[in-house]
Structure 1
Amino acid sequence: MTDNNENNATDEQPMGAGSSRRDVLKFGSIVTLGSILGGGALLGKATPVLAQADSKGALAPDEPFNILIVNYDGGTLLDFAGPSEIFHRLPNTNVRYASLKGGNVTLEFGVVYGNTERLADIEKTDLILVPGGSDLSAPMHPEYLAQIRRLAEGAKHITSVCNGSLVLAAAGVLNGKRSACHWAFVNKLAEYGAIGVPDRFVEDDNGRFMSGGGVTAGIDFAIRVAAKMRGNLDAEFTQLAIEYDPDPPFRSGHPRDARPEVIAMVDKILPNASKGLARIPGVR
């Protein structure tokens, strides 16, 4: 499996003889940052998870790791753009992007993402990632679900970000499995046989199943995947390389913190969101 570099949004800018900006970020000095913080329960306090600086990954340093990111019309860019920034900077890690028919997909807000491969042309992958979207009509189509199911069966790790977990659940991949989801949809997982968990990162079966909560949680998710696969040092390096040092101006990123009037605004455009039962196109 080869890295589909044409999909990278970051331009290669010369930094010297035979090097590029990405080379410097990927292979430059590695700095240990300390702890990585995790998410808490839907209405409870977030609990920090302290990382150990000498923690090793599940993979040998020279062992290749292949990642497939699924794309589709109506998908959310940040759901997979965040993880992509992390995964592309890990050593011996190949990242590919695929959609049902290949070529361009039109994401949420009309963003066109191009040159995806055809899902049917990909024999297998080590990790499959299904991001979420504002319209799940395309990935919920039986033909699409069949391809996701086929690739998931042979994958070592089955993952999702945001309501992409609903797609995996609809494909029958998450029966009886614990999974994260965007807070507005987390309780709908039960309708597909999965166990919705209102945390920012969730894993089951010793990490074979890993999932991130809504949209921005994809970055936290990817850093945790990086630590699990390549060890804390490489994971912390990628966090530093992209300057992932969140400092939001408001404590309104989750219903546990947001003001009631802000929650009501979301409920107005996504009825039943505060109950975790919001509906979007493609979800019955």
Structure 2
Amino acid sequence: MTDPIDNNASAAQPINTRPSRRDVLKLGSIAALGALLGGGALLGRATPALAEAASTGTLSPSESFDIVIAVYPNGTLLDFAGPSEVFHWLPNTNIRYASLEGGPVTLEYGVVYGKTERLADIAKADLIMVPGGSDLTAPMQPAYQAQIRRLADGARYVTSVCNGSLVLAATGILKGKRSACHWAFINDLKEYGAIPVPERFVEDDNGRFMSGGGITAGIDFALRVAAKLRGQQVAEFAQLLIEYDPAPPFHSGHPRDARPEIVAMVEKELPGASKGLARIPGIR
């Protein structure tokens, strides 16, 4: 992300006029996307080329769309940082970050995420996304749950990444719905009436409910969401810009691929993980 510009800065202060990497990519991408989708598209003027390119998406090219990412103390940064990067490249899409109290939020490992809005101050969201965390005590509290349920009830799309699906499930909105979750916690979904599906991306009710598996699955999840909303070309465009071309050095990202001794190490750290029943603070 680019640093904010202080328009009140003294003229005597040196000003760095070199554009950031994201500025360069953004400017280039706007030109490229305009050419790809038929020029003027990003200004809301739907051309025949744009209409054709976006025909597989559920949104019209000029339709604005609001995404609310609901964060909380001890949440996992990568759960929403990956999806956020994808969403920020989508045209006519506004991303808002909110928490129960607003302001800075201390995430997992002591990482402080900057200013957030108060959930109660957001009237509605077109899409709400709940990331996961290493401690779900805060998002399982009644006040947070009430705000999530309120926004989810009015949203066109209700989504989660990692064990954020447990937070959603605890509100009751996923009762009877299929959902993904991190492999170590996936069967905990049953306690809240949700249907656990051990896949990297899961949707239900024609895509109204969409979820990603554990942590890094958030990028796969976001690209699928992007394709659903704005069409495959736009999603592929975002994927190319962020160079999402994974080539892991080890095949150890899931118990089905990891060596038994590695799975045993995780089981020692998270008892019950091999059965998808690991417990973390906040889960009843």
- TM-score for the superposition, normalised by structure 2: 0.86
Deviation (angstroms), 1:29: 2.2
CA distance in 2, matches of 1:15, 1:106: 31
Aligned position for 1:226: 226
Q: Distance in 2 between matches of 1:217 and 1:25?
A: 27
Preserved contact between residue 71 and residue 99 of structure 1 (Cα < 8 Å): yes
Amino acid at match of 1:24: L
Deviation at 1:281, TM superposition (A): 0.7
SS at the partner of 1:128? strand
Q: How does 1:44-193 map to 2 (within 5 A)?
A: 56-193=56-193
Structure 2 residue aligned with 1:21, among 2, 5, 24? 24
CA contact (8 A) 2:54 2:60 kept: no
The structure with more helix, counted as a fraction of residues: 2
CA distance in 2, matches of 1:195, 1:250: 30
Q: Indicate whether 1:253 and 2:274 are aligned.
A: no
Say if 1:15 and 1:242 are closer, same or farther in 2 by CA, change over 3 A: farther
Cα displacement (A) at 1:20: 2.7
Q: Displacement, 1:26?
A: 3.9
How many aligned residue pairs are there? 254
Answer whether contact 1:54 1:233 (CA < 8 A) is retained.
Answer: yes
| Aligned partners of 2:135 and 2:281 also within 8 Å | yes
Counterpart of 1:66, as a letter, is: D
TM-score, L = length of structure 1:
0.86
How far apart are residue 27 of structure 1 and its match? 1.4
Alignment-mate amino acid for residue 262 of structure 1: I
Structure 2 unaligned segments of length 5 or more: list them: 5-15, 37-52
What whole-Å deviation, never above 9, does each CA across 1:231-267 have from its counterpart, x for those lacking one? 0110000000000000000000001100000001111
User: Distance between the aligned counterparts of 2:69 and 2:146, measured in 1?
Assistant: 16
CA offset at residue 28 of structure 1? 4.0
Cα distance, 1:201–1:149 mapped onto 2, change above 3 Å: same
Contact residue 15 and residue 21 of structure 1 kept, 8 A? no
Which residue is equivalent to 1:49? Answer: none
Query: C-alpha separation between the residues in 2 aligned to 1:211 and 1:14?
Result: 41
CA RMSD of aligned residues (A): 1.9
Paired AA for residue 195 in structure 1: I
**Aligned AA (2:135):** D
Give the whole-Å Cα distance in 2 for the aligned partners of 1:125 and 1:134: 26
Structure 1 unmatched ranges of 5 or more: 1-8, 33-52
Cα deviation, residue 56, structure 1: 1.9
Instruction: Name the structure where strand makes up a greater proportion of residues.
Output: 1
Which structure has more relative contact order (CA 8 Å, sep 6+)? It is 1
TM superposition outliers: structure 1 runs of 4+ over 3 Å: 9-16
Q: Percent identity?
A: 71
Q: Which has the larger radius of gyration?
A: 2
Distance in 1 (alpha carbons) for counterparts of 2:31 and 2:132: 32
Distance 2:162 2:17 in 1: 36
Distance 1:255 1:89 in 2: 33
Deviation, 1:282, is: 0.7
For each residue in 1:22-54, what CA deviation from the matched residue of structure 2 results, as whole angstroms up to 9, or x when unmatched? 52354142599xxxxxxxxxxxxxxxxxxxx88
The residue type paired with residue 23 of structure 2 is S
Q: Secondary structure at the match of 1:78?
A: helix
